[in-house]
Structure 1
Amino acid sequence: MNGISVIIACFNSEKVISTTLRYLQNQKNTEGIAWEVILVDNNSTDNTSDTARNVWNHQPIVPLTVLLEETVGEAHARKRGIQAAKYNILSIVDDDNWVAEDWIFKINGYFQNPEIGLIGCAGTGEFEENPAAWFSDNQHAFAIGRLYEGDFTDITEYAIVPGAGLSVRKNVYDTLFRLNWKPFLEGRVGNKQSAGADSEMCYITRLLGYKIYYSNLLHFKHFTASHRISWDRLTRMTEGFGQADVFTLPYKITYEESQGKRSLMNSLRKKWWFNFLGKKIALLLKDPFQFIAPPPFSKKELNRIRNKAFCETIWVERKKFEGSFSYLENISKGNILL
């Protein structure tokens, strides 16, 4: 049905979910727009579900469905919510995203264009404590700040938006589920830091023939607790980005070739050893002694961490990497995967 399903995957979100839901309850200009909220409790050990129900019952402007997904992992929780969604547009809101009062109104308007498959936006930082000086140069890693200019921009060529606040057509997921698609990247699992699942969603949506857009007019505040802004977390996220790069690369190459951009370079990039050696050589040229500076790291050290994680991952996953191209080609052709 035409409408918007807001999906919130939660793990031990008792302390933040109340404010997130209250912002959703403050939506304006939604007359004539069907929408719902689906909260998936990913086997929390706190009172996430009861807290959510209590807050919503004070102002139940649209239906709230609370589901339990016992298999821990953000990907599992989102899939549970997506399968339960009534409506054709999915708005993926994190448990700490405080959406603007015109959130539903704007998303509804944007998706009137049938060519658009996915829309991302920028979050504004809302901090428990003022972050350190180094944060502003690294805010994109925390899903805060603008990635592109312009009010509403076609960024299909780049196809990367932050996962927080991402909206996508349910038909994308319905198609992928029908084809038995299994993502390469799993997303966050409990408190384990990982990366790349949202980028993979952008790339697979583009591969299915949809356009990707980015809006600077679609606003939300990204509440960030002080313990979530640390060099240790940034380092772990950077490692996660490097690991994810191994399996976002096949999406990029497959898309380029689908657009007629076949080349010797792309043929070589399909070989695990070519990418491995390229990153290794780059690491040695930039830092022959593998020196690690103390925090706060410069961009150079962060790039080194990312490249090192890429090399370690592609070495372990070399067979899976080279098989990913035929896998994605089948997806793009609509072949059901065994």
Structure 2
Amino acid sequence: MTTNDIADQPAPEVAEPPRQRGLLPLLLVANSAMMAVYMGVGSVLLPTQIAAIAPDDKVALLGLIGGISAIFATAFNPIAGALSDRSGRRNPWIAAGGLASLACLAFLGSVNTALLVGIGWCLVQATMNTYQAAVTAIVPDRIPTARRGTASALVGLGLPIGGTAGVLIASQTAGQLRTGYLVFGVVIAAAALLLTTFCRDVPRSGTGAAAHTSDSAATAAAPKRARLAAFASALSHHDFRWAFIGRALMVLGYFSVVGYQLYILGDHISLPAGLTPPAAMAVLTPVSMVAMALSTVVGGLLSDRWNRRKVFVGVSAALAGLVMVVPVISPT
């Protein structure tokens, strides 16, 4: 065969991942369970437990535990993702993360000192981020390109559905912390087992075992310093750097309020008679999640139609800052 003959050969087609029946609903369940744990435990059960242990120092202690556990979350997500990439499989990491989270949540519900609560929550962050890293990779791994928009939309629904369900569960079990932690452990373990039982692993990126082996070998051959440099080089791009800074500040502002919402409602807001802070959160969270889902869809459609991004970022940031003043002026 001559060089010209080779050149005339059609380029090999990239194989799409095989379609798996029921994958999208199971992905929705998996992501909803994950957000239920993050919102229900992180915003209700954990603050309640810390307040019971150290009522006078609860704010500082919650901040300390939250800050240290965030380091575990930040580290374990890329580590677990890289290990699952190298293995070429997601299901073992999903199952292991879900079952380990059940054990860690059970441990967290059984301790009664600040040190052990901190250790338990760090372990939960580590195991949950192992689960999260593998679940997040399923959309590019197993969903054909033409259906990834639908898949991403369903995955995005995990936040309002799971967040609402998580806070509702937590508000009902705040008086029985051990039971509450066990319920959330069972939820995440069941979601992991459902997904891994009914949806099989496929070669990563849908390009076949040979391509996966080649990618893994190339990644392993690259020096660690070069890989870190490539990762950090993204921040050298002007637009990406400012998008990164803006998103980081947005997340910081959001979770600075949401993480302390139970204490804000209990210590600074005049609640109606007979309404406890956990019950108030069970009222507020569904409202906020519905508003979040609607604004996300409407904002995305309008920004696409008008082909404008900055005006939506600016207006939404200004509105967010403005409404933060309302509970200061009128704490009801």
TM-score, with structure 2 as normaliser: 0.24
Max radius of gyration: which structure?
A: 2
TM-score, with structure 1 as normaliser: 0.24
User: Structure 1 or 2: larger strand share?
Assistant: 1
User: Structure 1 or 2: larger helix share?
Assistant: 2
